[in-house]
Amino acid sequence: VASDQIRVALFGLGGVGRAFLELVDERDLPIEIVGAADSTGAIARPVGPDDLLALKGSGPLPAEADPATVIRSSGPDVVVDVMACDFATGEPSLGTMLQALGAGAAVATANKSPLARYWSKLWETASAHGASIGYAGAAGAALPAVAVARSLARVDRVDSFEGILSGTTTFVLDEMGRGSSFVTAVDAARRAGIAEPDPRIDVGGWDTAAKMVIIANTLWNPPVSLDDVGVTGVDARTVVEAGAPVRMVGRAARKGRSVHLSVEPRRLDPDHPLGPLEGRSKGIVFEGRSVGRVVVSGGHSHPRGAAAAVIGDVLELAGWARG
């Protein structure tokens, strides 16, 4: 194996993890998988992306290695965290990320909860060990919200931003706008395979709130956390009260060093820049002092788009430049 390969330990082999492997293979990227884990097994040896896909396709990963030792024994440059993650505790991602950073490995994660709840702890651990964290997959994924926020943070002073960041909630609100009850609309999102295991995280506004926190912390200092967001969820009366089309809108504004964050279902004005968003598309509008309004939209929710965002982070964390 060439030494210019980026050594990756892959935690999670669900929709996003498998799409990650497919993209590594299809794009012929300089990424070598040196370890992997799912919920029941783990391996700590180099394995080709297609071989790992075949291994996972035949059933749960074999318990060749103790999951707790995969990072230490495989010596990755980057640990990729695309595990299912408990929104309330951030686990098992939080523990895996802290272990990786503590070992000096970079982390690329698609999980928002650990960052929205433990931003300072994660970055303090990273900086103590000369490591870094890529999180484009956790806040927007296929929508390059984090990349644009990072760019704007260097280019300008951003005073506020507004986001429609949960494709699932847009789907539910549109179903309700077409006359479905709240319960029927949530069921339809489940059947379409786009609801989180606990749909209250999406329709309750928490998914949007976590992404707003992550983007706010990308732009501004000192960091905020999920507890700082005023969150109002969708309920059975939402569309009736606001009138369709309703969207779950996150708003963030900074005055001095204080940040105000809110998430609530709102009826958008006809000329709102995110008004045309439909289906599972997402969008974000930044207001910069010098650059003015910057709108990013598109990138609907899909495991392949999320995996592509994670790959972008892996390449950036490893300092990869297109040759």
Nearer to ligand NAP, 67 or 233 (CB): 67
Find out whether 125 and 98 touch, Cβ atoms under 8 Å: yes
Nearer to ligand NAP, 21 or 224 (CB): 21
- For ligand NAP, the binding residue among 9, 13, 24, 70 (CB under 6 A) is 13
To the nearest whole angstrom, how small is the minimum distance from the Cβ of residue 40 to ligand NAP?
A: 5
Measured distance CA(238)–CA(221) in Å, rounded: 34
Binding mask 165-194 for ligand NAP (x = CB under 6 A): ------------------------------
Nearer to ligand NAP, 99 or 238 (CB): 99
Burial of 136 from C-beta contacts in 10 A (0-12 / 13-18 / 19+): buried
H helices within 59-181, ranges in order? Answer: 70-74, 93-102, 112-128, 145-155, 167-177
Strand order in the sheet with 292-298: 229-231, 258-267, 246-255, 158-164, 282-288, 292-298
Q: Is 17 in the site for ligand NAP (CB under 6 A)?
A: yes
Residue position matching structure tokens 């549109």: 174
What is the 8-class DSSP label of residue 68? Answer: G
Measured distance CA(17)–CA(256) in Å, rounded: 41
* Stretch of 178-186, 221-229, 252-260, 297-305 lying at the interface with ligand NAP (CB under 6 A): 297-305
Whether the upstream peptide bond of residue 46 has omega within 30° of 0, thus cis, is: no
- For ligand NAP, the binding residue among 35, 90, 92, 288 (CB under 6 A) is 92
DSSP secondary structure of 299-318? --S-HHHHHHHHHHHHHHHT
Which candidate, 118, 95, 114, places its Cα nearest to that of 224?
A: 118
- For ligand NAP, the binding residue among 6, 21, 52, 82 (CB under 6 A) is 82
To the nearest whole angstrom, how small is the minimum distance from the Cβ of residue 140 to ligand NAP?
A: 9
What is the 8-class DSSP label of residue 46? Answer: -
Q: Among residue numbers 41 through 70, which ones bind ligand NAP (CB under 6 A)?
A: 60, 67
Closest CB to ligand NAP belongs to which residue? 14
Nearer to ligand NAP, 101 or 141 (CB): 141
Q: Is 37 in the site for ligand NAP (CB under 6 A)?
A: yes
Q: Among residue numbers 226 through 285, which ones bind ligand NAP (CB under 6 A)?
A: none
* Stretch of 35-43, 182-190, 214-222, 232-240 lying at the interface with ligand NAP (CB under 6 A): 35-43
Q: Where does this chain bind ligand NAP (CB under 6 A)?
A: 11-17, 37-40, 60, 67, 82-85, 92, 110-111, 137, 141, 301-303, 306
